[in-house]
Homo-oligomer: A and B are copies of this chain.
Amino acid sequence: MSGNTFGTVFRVTTWGESHGPAIGVVVDGCPSKIPLSEADIQKELDRRRPGQSDISTPRKEEDAVEILSGVFEGMTTGTPISMIVWNRNVDSSPYERLKDTPRPGHADYPYEVKYGIRDYRGGGRASARETVGRVAAGAVAKKMLAEAGIDVVAHVIELGGIRACECEMTPPEIRERIEETPVRCADPDAAARMVELIGEVREQKDSIGGIVEIMATGVPAGVGEPVFDKLDGDLAKALMSIGAVKGVEIGAGFGCATMRGSEMNDAFLVSDGTVVPETNNAGGILGGLSTGAPIVCRIAVKPTPSIASPQKTADIRTMSETTITIQGRHDPTIPPRMVPVAEAMVAIVLADHLLRDRGSKSVKFLLNRAYHGD
């Protein structure tokens, strides 16, 4: 049973291979009457696109999105929203040589075992290009979340061991700062050192990993569906399902392993007539439900597996050991381009859970408000 659909109410189905004719996504379950245009989607796709600076791969992907359904006179209609981006400017020839020699750190080998056939050109379905569909769907989710006053932002907080300072910033502040540097780190000093390190690593034909933090503000308390579809559980799945992510943490995360309970627990205060946690070690989630505090998650992103140095691998036809050198130019680090993708996945989870929560309210809530139009 395949797994190309994510979400239960706000449902996202991506399709397409890196070097096939096109790549796209169908979003089912988006509420009606949300203003939506191709420009809303394009803005996010442009952030994802490679070739935006000299630290990322120069392949020219124009990635112009077309909305094919689900929008009428500038508004969503409640029917499926189909979006497509044509693949252009693809050169599959460098991949011909890699057909039988799985690249270390890539999905080539297990795909071959699983399906017995694979489109090996450009990584096929396992290419990072698949995130085009995620980002487009995430743009729709963000439009819906904006109506609810929810804001999602991601930024690079560590790259190749260089850590940004921990300063409290709001999502708009982070958003403004990260677009000033190609590494999408909100600390300008750390960002400068990261850029320098990337240059060195590229010289060494090597690559580096890092950590991306995602924050969402404005999420009301009570969102999440215990005991399995907890908000943190679905965030973990959504983020871990992005290629190159090897770890996910919420709030204090792995740091909680060395904390005491008296330190970890966030006391509750009363402010403006509502309950608010004094600190946010919980990362905005308790028992799988949002607390009303900002949702904070971090993901560990591995170094780009495509490196220019020779690597040992197996020839799966002859079943013998061999060496490959991956050609073409590849980003020496992934986290800066991970930023819009991570935002998209978090936005999709929040849109889905916000809608799911509506069906979990008390019957009085559901019915009192059910029959009075909009």
**For the complex, is A93 an interface residue (Cβ under 8 Å from B)?**
no
Chain A 281-313 residues near chain B, CB threshold 8 A? 282-283, 286-292, 300-307, 309, 311-313
How many Å from the CB of A100 to the closest CB on chain B? Answer: 11
In the complex, A370 has a CB within 8 A of chain B: yes
Mark out the residues of chain A between 102 and 122 whose CB falls within 8 Å of any chain B CB in the assembled complex.
102, 104-111, 113-119
B362, A374: Cβ atoms under 8 Å? yes
CB contact between A321 and one of B269, B286, B302 (< 8 Å): that residue = B269
Tell me if A2 and B265 are in contact (CB < 8 A).
no
Question: Chain B residue with minimal CB distance to A316?
Answer: B275
User: A63: CB under 8 A from chain B?
Assistant: no
A343 at the interface (CB under 8 A from B): no
Interface size grouping (class) on chain A? 35 or more
Residue from the list B1, B73, B221, B261 in contact with A303, Cβ < 8 A: B261
In the complex, what residues of B have CB within 8 A of residue A264's CB? Answer: 105, 209, 302-303, 305
* Number of chain copies forming the complex: 4
User: Which of B23, B111, B229, B286 is within 8 Å of A3, CB to CB?
Assistant: B229
**Of B3, B144, B252, which is within 8 A of A226 by CB?**
B3
A-B contact pairs, 24 of them (CB 8 A): A1-B355, A4-B228, A5-B5, A9-B359, A13-B26, A16-B69, A17-B72, A21-B66, A29-B360, A32-B117, A68-B84, A78-B114, A78-B115, A107-B226, A114-B361, A161-B258, A207-B260, A209-B257, A227-B241, A241-B288, A249-B300, A259-B303, A264-B303, A267-B311
Is there contact, CB below 8 Å, between A241 and B246?
Answer: no
- Residue of B at shortest CB range from A313? B268
